[in-house]
Amino acid sequence: MPLHSDRPNGRSTAGDGSAVAGGASAGAASAAARGIADWLSLAAAPTFAIMALLTAATGGADMICSSTQDASPLNGMVPMYLLMAAFHSAPWLKLVSSRGQKMERSIV
């Protein structure tokens, strides 16, 4: 399910809101670009979560980044990756929310 929607009049729009010229081929290209953008936005949160797990398991860059032995556990790469995963979770929340609304409509 796409995260972006077309305008109510059915015409495709560019990122700045102006109508795309060129007919069906431009519309197909625009739809393909939106589809790719949707998949990339969904890929960000799991990628950062996996990076956090790998960094926690290997202890990777934390040795380079920490300057003292008594560094806070909130300093380092693992918390940064977890925060980035949380900040990039909006597309997943939107997808889950839209599917919940679809199921609710089909029940009623």
56 falls within a domain: yes
pLDDT at 9 exceeding the cut of 90 = no
38 and 3 Cβ atoms separated by less than 8 Å: yes
**Alpha helices per DSSP H over 59-69:** 62-65
Q: What residue numbers bound the domain in which 79 lies?
A: 44-107
Overall pTM > 0.75: no
For residue 57, tell me if it sits in a domain. yes
What would the mean pLDDT of 43-53 be, rounded to a whole number?
92
Percentage of the chain modeled with pLDDT above 70: 59
Structural domains counted in the chain: 1
Answer yes or no: is 4 within a domain: no
**Token output for 50:** 């996996």
Q: How many CA atoms lie within 13 A of 80 on its CB side?
A: 8
Average pLDDT, the chain: 75
71 assigned to some structural domain: yes
pLDDT tens digits for range 56-92:
888 765 555 555 555 666 678 888 999 999 999 999 9
Does residue 3 lie within any of the structural domains? Answer: no
Residue 25 domain-assigned (yes or no)? no
Domain contains 9: no
Residue 49 lies in a domain: yes
